C-alpha cells in the first residue's frame, strides 16, 4: 500500500516547510538572543559603569591633568599635540577599548563554555555557533560604543580635539580597535582549556601592549627596533588612528594602512572565533 507523505509546500492545507537549523538566517539567529543579553546588561550595568568609565576617567585625570602638568614638550615631540593631556587622551581611550574587549571575551567566554554552560543550552536550539558568536560580539560592540562615546563626550570640553570631525573619526577608530581585539581574543578563549591562560595573556600580551604601543609616549622613544616592533602591533594601529584624528594631524595613507590592518585582523578573528567555538562545542 502506498504511503502518502504530507506536502511541504506553502499552499493552503499543507504544512509549511521548517528550515533546517543551518538555514536559520544570521540576523534572525542573533536577534533571538537579544532578551538574554538585555537581561544580563540590566543586572550588571552598575559594575560596567565603574570598570568601563569611572576608573579610566580617574586615570586620565591623574596621568593627563596632574602628571601632564609637569611634562614640558613642544608639539613636534608630542606628535602634534599642544599638551600632554591632548596627547595621552586619544591613545588612552583606544587602549581602554582594547582592555574592555579583552575583559569581555576571556573569562565570560570561558564561563559560558565551561562553568555556566550557557553556550551548550543555546546550541541545543536551532542556533549555530556563528549566531552565538555574533550575538556575544554584538554585545561587546555595544559595550565599546557606549564606553568610548561617553569617554569622548566627557573629554571634549578639555580641548583635546582640534576639529569638529575629529571626535567622530577618533571614536570610530577606537571601537574598531576594540572589536579587532574582541574577535582575536574570543578565538583564543574558545581554544583555551584553563583560565590560567588568561593570566598569561594579560601579563605577556595586554600589559606590554598597553605600556609600549604609544598610548603614553611616542614609540620613537623606544629606538629604531623597538619603534618598528610597536608599529607592528594592532594596538598601535588603533592608537595612531585615534591620535591622528583627534589632533587633526592625519597622514591619510598611514590612516588607510592602519584601518586595513585592523579590518583584516578583525575578519580573521571572526573566522577563527566561529571555527573555535564550533570545534569546542560541536565537532
Residue 272: which of 206, 191, 178 has the closest Cα?
191
Domain boundaries, the chain: 90-154+161-281
C-alpha–C-alpha distance, residues 85 and 115, integer Å: 42
Let me know: does 166 contact 248? Beta carbons within 8 Å.
Answer: yes
Let me know: does 219 contact 184? Beta carbons within 8 Å.
Answer: no
C-alpha–C-alpha distance, residues 94 and 65, integer Å: 18
Q: What is the pTM of this model?
A: 0.87
Residue 84 has a pLDDT of: 83
Residue 66 has a pLDDT of: 66
Residue 43 has a pLDDT of: 81
Torsion of CA 15, 20, 23, 27, to 10 degrees: 80
Classify residue 255 by burial, with Cβ atoms within 10 Å: 0-12, 13-18, 19+.
middle
Residue 192 has a pLDDT of: 93
Torsion of CA 96, 102, 108, 112, to 10 degrees: 150
Phi-psi region of 223 (alpha: psi -120 to 50; beta: other; left: phi over 0): left
What is the 3-class SS of the chain, one letter each residue?
CCCCCCCCCCCCCCCCCCCCHHHCCHHHHHHCCHHHHHHHHHHHHHHHHHHHHHHHHHHHHHHHHHHHHHCCCCCCCCCCCCCHHHHHHHHHHHHHHHHHHHHHCCHHHHHHHHHCCHHHHHCCCCCCHHHHHHHHHHHHHHHHHHHHHHHHHHHHHHCCCCCCCHHHHHHHHHHHHHHHHHHHHHHHHHCCCCCHHHHHHHHHHHHHHHHHCCCCCCHHHHHHHHHHHHHCCHHHHHHHHHHHHHHCCCCHHHHHHHHHHHHHHHHHHHHHHHHHHHHHHCC
Per-residue cell: 182? 574582541
- How high is the mean pLDDT in each 10-residue block of the chain (283 residues)? 43 47 83 90 75 69 65 66 85 93 95 92 93 96 91 83 92 97 98 92 94 90 92 96 94 96 98 96 79
Residue 6 has a pLDDT of: 43
Amino acid at each position: 500500500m502506498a504511503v502518502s507523505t504530507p506536502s511541504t509546500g506553502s499552499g493552503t492545507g499543507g504544512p509549511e516547510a521548517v528550515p533546517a537549523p543551518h538555514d536559520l538566517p544570521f540576523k534572525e539567529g542573533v536577534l533571538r538572543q537579544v532578551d538574554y543579553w538585555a537581561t544580563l546588561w540590566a543586572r550588571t550595568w552598575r559594575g560596567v559603569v565603574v570598570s568601563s568609565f569611572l576608573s579610566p576617567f580617574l586615570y586620565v585625570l591623574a596621568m593627563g591633568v596632574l602628571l601632564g602638568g609637569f611634562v614640558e614638550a613642544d608639539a613636534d615631540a608630542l606628535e602634534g599635540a599642544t599638551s600632554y593631556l591632548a596627547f595621552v587622551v586619544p591613545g588612552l581611550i583606544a587602549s581602554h577599548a582594547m582592555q574592555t574587549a579583552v575583559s569581555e571575551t576571556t573569562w565570560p567566554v570561558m564561563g559560558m563554555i565551561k562553568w555556566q554552560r550557557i553556550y551548550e543550552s543555546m546550541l541545543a536550539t536551532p542556533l549555530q555557533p556563528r549566531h552565538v558568536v555574533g550575538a556575544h560580539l554584538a554585545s561587546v560592540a555595544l559595550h565599546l560604543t557606549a564606553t568610548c562615546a561617553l569617554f569622548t563626550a566627557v573629554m571634549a570640553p578639555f580641548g583635546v580635539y582640534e576639529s569638529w570631525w575629529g571626535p567622530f573619526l577618533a571614536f570610530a577608530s577606537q571601537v574598531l580597535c576594540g572589536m579587532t581585539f574582541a574577535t582575536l581574543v574570543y578565538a583564543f578563549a574558545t581554544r583555551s582549556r584553563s583560565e590560567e591562560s588568561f593570566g598569561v595573556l594579560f601579563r605577556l600580551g595586554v600589559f606590554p601592549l598597553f605600556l609600549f604601543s604609544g598610548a603614553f609616549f611616542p614609540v620613537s622613544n623606544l629606538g629604531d627596533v623597538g619603534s618598528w616592533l610597536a608599529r607592528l602591533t594592532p594596538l598601535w594601529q588603533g592608537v595612531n588612528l585615534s591620535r591622528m584624528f583627534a589632533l587633526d594631524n592625519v597622514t591619510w595613507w598611514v590612516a588607510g594602512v592602519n584601518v586595513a590592518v585592523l579590518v583584516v585582523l578583525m575578519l580573521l578573528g571572526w573566522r577563527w572565533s566561529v571555527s573555535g567555538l564550533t570545534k569546542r562545542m560541536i565537532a
